[in-house]
Amino acid sequence: MIGMDRNTGRTIDGWQQFVSRATQVLTTPVGGREHRRRFGSRVPELLGRLTSDEVLILAQGRAIAAFYEPINGITDFQPTRCVASRHATGLRLAFEGTWLNRRVTFEVAV
């Protein structure tokens, strides 16, 4: 699949394009798109509540659930691990898993 980098506008494909799609899904709240109401994740709902470890656990669960929603278009990645942590501008999700039979890792800032 070929896409466009949302920051630079250049053409991307392969792994870079997947990470861009995953970032878009994880930073879009469910119901945030007019014509695709089920697209997105429930992670952004937690951003105002980053005060406890319980919220980090909820974020991990909600992030992993987003990979199993067919409407999100990221089911080609099978997560094996997700670690949520706080950082200066919000939440960071670090993923490990399998994409196209390769072990990969990536991070998404929410």
Give residue limits of the domains in the chain.
2-109
pLDDT, one tens digit per residue, over 50-96 is: 678 899 999 999 999 999 999 999 999 999 999 999 888 889 999 99
pLDDT at 76: 92
Q: Locate all alpha helices (DSSP H) within the chain, ordered by sequence.
A: 14-27, 53-66
Tokens (6 digits) for 51 = 């005060």
CA angle in degrees (0–180, nearest 5) for 34-36-41? 105
Are 79 and 41 in contact, with CB atoms under 8 Å apart?
A: no
Q: What architecture (CATH level 2) is domain 2-109? A: Roll (3.10)
Torsion of CA 20, 21, 24, 29, to 10 degrees: -160
For range 10-19, the mean pLDDT: 88
Evaluate if residue 3 carries a pLDDT over 80.
no
Tell me the whole-structure pTM to 2 decimals. Answer: 0.88
CA-closest candidate to residue 56, choices 95, 26, 85, 87: 85
pLDDT at 47: 85
